[in-house]
């Protein structure tokens, strides 16, 4: 403990001496300054980004409610992962820790019968922050909930009453899909996406039962809604990609960010997709002493089961299909992630989606007709090395360009 205190005194949040990509002391203290205004209180007034949460425990009767910081003004960045890249992670944690989520019990079916859900609908119809008044049954306590799916969540408290009191601003496409009770949820999601509504906002609308046909509308737990929207949009894009010509070269992309490495390889061939993660010791989900590689994939016919690697698979597939659609090309796409020691905080699938979007926007680090150059690039860029990735991948190893043994022998690597 003494050594940790000394390290913090020497670092003061600026040098990263603890090996983390963020400073937990800065994040906690910044959030406590804001949320301290409501600790011990039962009334909260603030500008919701807008933000909502729908739980999954007890389904079909779940907890749901608004999230808001105890501040007013433009709070949109508090719940808009599309704007978080480039910010220090402690800033993101500050935003999330300082939002109070008020929760009430609701049934997922027939949302129109619930006054709470009707208020939540009014909230998510806005694409700008909304002023809300919240009365709590008990004061909130400082807390942080972390998830591989959702963004970090701050204090929660049981809800007594909640109402929208001002601010906000809607978009025509949002009003249209909400008002069209004959429009399927799938079609509504695509209409919103084509109308340039952020994926995060579409996920909110699906979650609180604001999309779909009439009495068929249902609340969807936030975790499920995130993956459902990523899955729906990427499937739609993939249908168009399959009709496009193949990329005419190998392309390699790479991005390092906050003790993570993201790499994508686009291979001339029919649409197929693979997502793999290499967790190093002392990273979030690997307390062991060796690197663990996990992944999942799909061929041209897609998937019929949920990906074993979880929601990051669908977030990565969305970013990749967006890029191929923008190119007007089809490819076999293999996307890799290395997670290094020090990255020990579950932060949500947005982290994958937004980093891959940024990586593709930066453009490829290599365009080549040589498969050997692709493997050499993987060897240079990744810490794990081309041999380990080839051995772990279904699509790289099965591409038919070169066998794992041939590559390892050619590179002088001992088995």
Mean pLDDT of 254-267: 96
The SS3 of residue 379 is: helix
Mean pLDDT of 293-312: 94
297 vs 153, which has greater pLDDT?
A: 297
Q: Is the N-terminal amide bond of 50 cis, ω within 30° of 0? A: yes
Helix (H) or strand (E) holding 339: strand 332-339
Rounded Cα distance, 115 and 164, in Å: 12
User: What is the rounded average pLDDT for all residues in the chain?
Assistant: 87
Of 275, 401, 415, which is closest to residue 349 (Cα–Cα)? Answer: 275
In order, the DSSP letters of 26-75 are HHHHHHHHHHTTTTT-SEEEEEE-S-EEE--TTTTEEEEEEEE-S--S--
Confidence class of residue 247 from pLDDT cuts 50, 70 and 90? Answer: very high
Cα–Cα dist 118/123, whole Å:
9
Q: What is the pLDDT of residue 95?
A: 87
Confidence check: pLDDT of 159 > 90: yes
For range 135-157, the mean pLDDT: 80
Stronger pLDDT, 362 or 35, i.e. the higher one: 362
pLDDT at 145 over 90: no
Q: Can you give the pLDDT at residue 341?
A: 86
Which sign, positive or negative, has the C-alpha torsion 232, 51, 105, 151?
Answer: positive
Render pLDDT for 14-37 as a digit per residue (tens, 0 to 9): 444 455 555 555 555 555 556 666
Percent of the chain with pLDDT over 90: 68
Alpha carbons 220 and 228: distance in angstroms, whole number:
9
Q: Where are the domains of the chain?
A: 18-231, 250-410
How deeply is 75 buried, as exposed, middle or buried, from its count of CB atoms within 10 A (0-12, 13-18, 19+)?
A: buried
> What pLDDT shows up at residue 26?
52
């Amino acid at each position: 403990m003494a050594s940790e205190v000394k390290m913090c005194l020497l670092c003061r949040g600026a040098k990263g001496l603890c090996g983390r990509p963020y400073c937990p002391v800065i994040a906690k203290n910044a959030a406590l300054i804001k949320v301290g205004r409501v600790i011990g209180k039962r009334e909260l007034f603030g500008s919701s980004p807008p933000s909502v949460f729908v739980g999954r425990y007890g389904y079909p009767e779940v907890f749901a409610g608004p999230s808001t910081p105890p501040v007013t003004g433009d709070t949109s960045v508090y719940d808009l992962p599309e704007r978080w890249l480039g910010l220090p992670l402690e800033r993101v944690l500050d935003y999330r820790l300082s939002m109070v989520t008020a929760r009430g019990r609701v049934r997922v079916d027939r949302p129109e019968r619930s006054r709470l859900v009707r208020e939540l609908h009014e909230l998510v119809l806005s694409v700008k922050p909304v002023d809300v008044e919240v009365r709590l049954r008990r004061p909130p306590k400082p807390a942080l909930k972390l998830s591989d799916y959702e963004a970090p969540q701050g204090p929660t408290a049981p809800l007594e009453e909640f109402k929208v009191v001002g601010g906000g601003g809607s978009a025509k496409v949002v009003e249209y899909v909400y008002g069209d009770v004959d429009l399927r949820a799938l079609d509504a999601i695509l209409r919103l996406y084509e109308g340039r509504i952020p994926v995060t906002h579409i996920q909110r609308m699906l979650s609180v039962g604001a999309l779909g046909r009439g009495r068929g509308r249902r609340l969807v737990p936030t975790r499920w809604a995130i993956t459902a929207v990523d899955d729906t949009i990427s499937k739609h894009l993939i249908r168009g990609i399959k009709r496009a010509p193949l990329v005419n070269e190998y392309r390699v992309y790479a991005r390092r960010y906050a003790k993570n490495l993201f790499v994508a390889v686009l291979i001339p061939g029919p649409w197929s997709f693979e997502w793999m993660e290499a967790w190093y010791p002392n990273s979030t989900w690997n307390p062991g002493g060796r690197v663990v590689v996990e992944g999942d994939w799909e061929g041209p016919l897609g998937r019929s089961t949920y990906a074993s690697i979880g929601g990051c698979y669908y977030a990565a597939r969305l970013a990749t299909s967006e890029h191929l659609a923008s190119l007007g090309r089809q490819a076999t796409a293999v996307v890799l992630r290395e997670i290094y020691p020090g990255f020990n905080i579950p932060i949500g699938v947005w982290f994958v989606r937004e980093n891959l979007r940024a990586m593709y926007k930066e453009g490829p680090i290599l365009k080549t007709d040589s498969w050997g150059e692709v493997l050499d690039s993987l060897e240079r860029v990744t810490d794990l090395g081309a041999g380990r990735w080839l051995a772990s991948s279904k699509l790289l190893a099965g591409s038919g360009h070169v066998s794992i043994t041939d590559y390892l022998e050619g590179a002088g690597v001992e088995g």
